A and B are shown apart, each in its own frame.
Chain A
Amino acid sequence: MPVFSSTEELQEVMFTLWNEMKGNPEIAEKLISSRLIVQFQYKDPHGLLTVDCLDGKEMKIIVGKTELKPVIEMSMKADVAHEFWLGKVNVPMALMMGKIVSKGPTPKALALLPVIKPAYSIYPKVWELKGKNQRVG
């Protein structure tokens, strides 16, 4: 059974998580300096989230469809994303195994992995806030 019960739940969790990262200067500053637009495309359930740092000043988080043209597109099952944020996915291995599709300059995406690592500890708290701790147990 998928971790996320619906597109709404998936997008809400991911938006809350990225919003927390936006509020964390240690993470946000490095993401903003990447000047990338990264789009996450999820399936089972379907979901779409775009993180826009193109202007180098601000981090914008867009849920759902957007006209923005991403520099990097990362596609995966929502369950893979969930495992990732729990720190259980080795991204290069997942790419090799075909569990993640990366379109665009993959090294730039991989370079951001150490930057977002501190968010692994934020993710369970997002579920906690929703009162659904069992999903990360």
Chain B
Amino acid sequence: MRLGVFQSPTKVLFGEGTISGIGDEISQFGASKPLLVTDKVLLEKGVLEPVLRSLDESGFGKLPIFSDVPPDSDVECVRQAAAFARQAKADLVIACGGGSVIDTAKVLNIGLSLPGDLLEYEGINSFSQALKPLIAVPTTAGTGSEMSAVAMIMDKANGKKLIFGSRYLYADLAILDPNLLCSLPPRLTAGTGMDALTHCLEAYVSLGANVIADALCLDAMALIFQNLKLATTNGDDPEARANTLLASAMAGMAFTNTGVGIVHALAHTIGGAFGTHHGLTNAVFLPYGMNFNMPSSYERYARCWRHLCSLDPGASGAKYGISAKLVMEADFEKDARSLVKAVSDLADSCSIPKRLRDLGVPELADDKILELAAVAGTDPAIMFNPQEASIEDLSNLIREAY
């Protein structure tokens, strides 16, 4: 059996209204001074109303709130948040927001719980002490950060991304309440959903893939195919929201144990250079990345496709343009191509831009493309990609996706 690793120590509460249990959960940790980390938009738009109400009803109504987290959190913001948390003598951290908020909360928790400067803990497995309890409450369905052992923070002053990875960064509890996502705009719903789909498809073919993660990837992928369009076009549908939220968490559990791949490496690079939305950038690169990985991964992709179709054999033909009989007879490569097409069709149905230029990336000269390809070639994500990629391969993918 291939060597592997799987960890997922996070307790998960999921379903409509589960946020009402947050007070009891805080008490179970023995905490009395929780700190809430969020962003201003969520606070001002009233998205956090159910969270604040639940906290109030549990006697935590006057808790300190740090709401200055920007969309791409910076190390300075995290330092401020950590200082705020120390001053408030917080003994538990609640992160309520998207990936940036949750990652900020994870890293501020290092600053709150451990001595010295935050940057001393940059790296992988660089500390071995438990931190204060962390409760993650995602308000988007895509990053999977609520289930991962990694946090990424920008160091804008030095123009680089800092990676913190440790088993002690897992949230102790994740509360997946779909009601908190109902006001998420369609474009963000679609973009974050495609991020989760990318997590599934890259984790499933990754060099670190393992059977436990496989099971999560397959069912998370199916949930996304079945629900993302509805969640995007009808954000008030609690079932669609719940299913995409669950899928995002499952994909997060998977990829934090397997790594991702070339699509993430390219999306990190383009996002870092042009500030494009991570999920949308992944969505643009995903079909190209899958086609690139086809020689090494077509059987795995075909298994994904067959899983999708097997869930609803009668309807799968109508849904994905292929009959059940044909599915069983088709060869692996053909099925793998069908999956790539289904991914593109799903993105189309959610009105996701098809090209990097549609995301605002300017026309790129050859030397700039080479430079970007070189950056992507050293992104940690690419180390898990099943197909080795040269700078020329990466350049071609950027050109194709442009």
Whether A27 sits at the interface, judged by CB under 8 Å, is: no
- Could you tell me the distance between the alpha carbons of A105 and B121 in the complex, rounded to whole angstroms? 10
- Could you tell me the distance between the alpha carbons of A97 and B207 in the complex, rounded to whole angstroms? 14
Mark each residue of chain A from 97 to 131: 1 if its CB lies under 8 Å from any CB of chain B, else 0: 11011111111001101000000000000000000
Whether A90 sits at the interface, judged by CB under 8 Å, is: yes
Docked-complex contact B125 and A110, CB < 8 angstroms? no
A73 partner residues in chain B, CB cutoff 8 A: 123
**Count class of interface residues, chain A:** 20 to 34
Docked-complex contact B123 and A96, CB < 8 angstroms? no
A113 partner residues in chain B, CB cutoff 8 A: 383
Q: Looking at chain B's contact residues, is the secondary structure mostly helix, strand, loop, or mixed?
A: mixed
Known: A95-B165, A107-B378, A111-B378. A100 touches B125 (CB 8 A): yes
A90 partner residues in chain B, CB cutoff 8 A: 207-208, 383
- Could you tell me the distance between the alpha carbons of A110 and B163 in the complex, rounded to whole angstroms? 12
Which of B123, B167, B257, B383 is A104 in contact with, Cβ under 8 Å? B123
* Interface residues in B208-267 (C-beta closer than 8 Å to A): 208, 257, 259
Docked-complex contact A96 and B163, CB < 8 angstroms? no
Whether B122 sits at the interface, judged by CB under 8 Å, is: yes
Whether B43 sits at the interface, judged by CB under 8 Å, is: no
Whether B124 sits at the interface, judged by CB under 8 Å, is: yes
Which of A96, A98, A100, A107 is B379 in contact with, Cβ under 8 Å? A107
B162 partner residues in chain A, CB cutoff 8 A: 105
Docked-complex contact B259 and A101, CB < 8 angstroms? no
CB of A94 to closest CB in B, whole Å:
10
Pairs across A and B, CB under 8 Å, 20 listed: A90-B207, A90-B383, A92-B259, A92-B380, A92-B383, A93-B5, A93-B208, A95-B125, A96-B259, A97-B5, A100-B124, A103-B120, A104-B122, A104-B123, A105-B122, A105-B123, A106-B124, A107-B161, A107-B380, A110-B383
Nearest 4 Cβ contacts at the A-B interface: A111-B378, A103-B123, A92-B383, A103-B126
